[in-house]
């Protein structure tokens, strides 16, 4: 549907329903369907993930590299089916005490050595957290948070900073805004990439913005809170 004028409507039928929650549709499928006639068609940008072999994928909400993509890659389908979002928390906290693989990031003319990167178009993360607090589907760019360090223990500090809304003030984390960033090759094959909660491959890769790419149906109040 990229570049198509046909509008996309979202029904909340997933595990976390990030997009539905982000735009104010909510998590009740029947109620969402009943309100479709009041939704407003809105043009939004999309993200684009490109690999060196020429393969590419568009995404609507976020791309994660490193820690969260490793969780997505390793999570048991059966556990996810039984426990829903709780399965991700279990998989995430299982990394505490382990050494995390690192990868290179180049964005805004700066170079980083990261173990987790999130490039987001939405504030909502997994239905429960807000990592990119100023991200917006109506904006022209990504909000990017780079977490550095190969040890998992500092992620308890990062997690506390996320809960307090102070990620931009914690040592080892950097918040950026950009339309283009490069993820360089890692020597560790466990550096995975996820887009919108789906495992899609490994580094290296490029992330960029495709402006005016999709017509999305959103509740009218979404423009008041995100405009």
Given its phi and psi angles, is residue 38 left (phi above 0), alpha (psi -120 to 50 degrees) or beta? alpha
More confident residue, 208 or 223: 208
pLDDT confidence of residue 190 = 83
Domain count, the chain: 1
Structure confidence at residue 16 as a pLDDT band (50, 70, 90): confident
Structure confidence at residue 83 as a pLDDT band (50, 70, 90): very low
SS3 assignment, position 9:
coil
Query: Quick check: pTM over 0.85?
Result: yes
Strand partners, 140: none
Contact of 70 with 199, CB cutoff 8 Å: no
Report the 10 Å Cβ neighbour count for 134: 12
216 located within any domain: no
More confident residue, 190 or 217: 217
6 located within any domain: no
189 located within any domain: yes
| Angstrom distance (rounded) from CA 117 to CA 109 | 16
Question: Which pLDDT tens digit goes with each residue over 24-72?
Answer: 999 999 999 999 999 999 999 999 999 999 999 999 999 999 998 988 8
Give the range of the structural domain holding residue 149, as residue numbers without chain letter: 45-210
| Angstrom distance (rounded) from CA 132 to CA 136 | 9
- Give the residue among 10, 80, 28, 58 at the shortest CA–CA distance from 222: 10
pLDDT confidence of residue 82 = 53
24 located within any domain: no
61 located within any domain: yes
SS3 assignment, position 209:
strand
Q: Which of 16-30, 81-95, 213-227 has the highest mean pLDDT?
A: 16-30
227 located within any domain: no
Question: Which pLDDT tens digit goes with each residue over 183-214?
Answer: 998 888 889 999 998 999 999 999 999 999 99
Contact of 218 with 24, CB cutoff 8 Å: yes
88 located within any domain: yes
Contact of 111 with 105, CB cutoff 8 Å: yes
58 located within any domain: yes
Q: What is the CATH number of the domain that holds 175?
A: 2.60.200.40
Contact of 206 with 50, CB cutoff 8 Å: yes
- Give the residue among 119, 109, 171, 113 at the shortest CA–CA distance from 141: 119
């Amino acid at each position: 549907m990229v570049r198509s004028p046909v509008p996309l409507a979202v029904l909340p039928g997933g595990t976390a329903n990030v997009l539905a929650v982000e735009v104010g549709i909510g998590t009740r499928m029947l109620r969402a369907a009943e309100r479709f006639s009041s939704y407003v068609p809105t043009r939004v940008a999309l993200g684009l993930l490109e690999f060196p072999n020429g393969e590419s994928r568009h995404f609507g909400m976020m791309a994660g590299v490193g820690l969260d993509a490793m969780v997505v890659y390793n999570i048991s389908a059966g556990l996810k089916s039984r426990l829903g979002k709780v399965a991700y928390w279990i998989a995430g906290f299982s990394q505490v005490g382990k050494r995390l693989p690192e990868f290179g990031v180049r964005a805004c003319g700066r170079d980083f050595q990261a173990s987790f990167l999130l490039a987001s178009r939405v504030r909502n993360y997994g239905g429960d957290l807000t990592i990119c607090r100023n991200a917006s589907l109506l904006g022209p760019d990504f909000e990017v948070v780079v977490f550095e360090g190969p040890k998992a223990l500092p992620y308890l500090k990062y997690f506390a900073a996320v809960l307090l809304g102070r990620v931009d003030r914690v040592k080892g984390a950097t918040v950026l805004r950009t339309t283009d960033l490069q993820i360089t090759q890692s020597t560790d094959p466990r550096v995975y990439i996820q887009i919108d909660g789906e495992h899609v491959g490994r580094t290296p890769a490029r992330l960029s913005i495709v402006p005016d790419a999709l017509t999305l149906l959103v509740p009218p109040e979404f423009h008041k809170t995100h405009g």
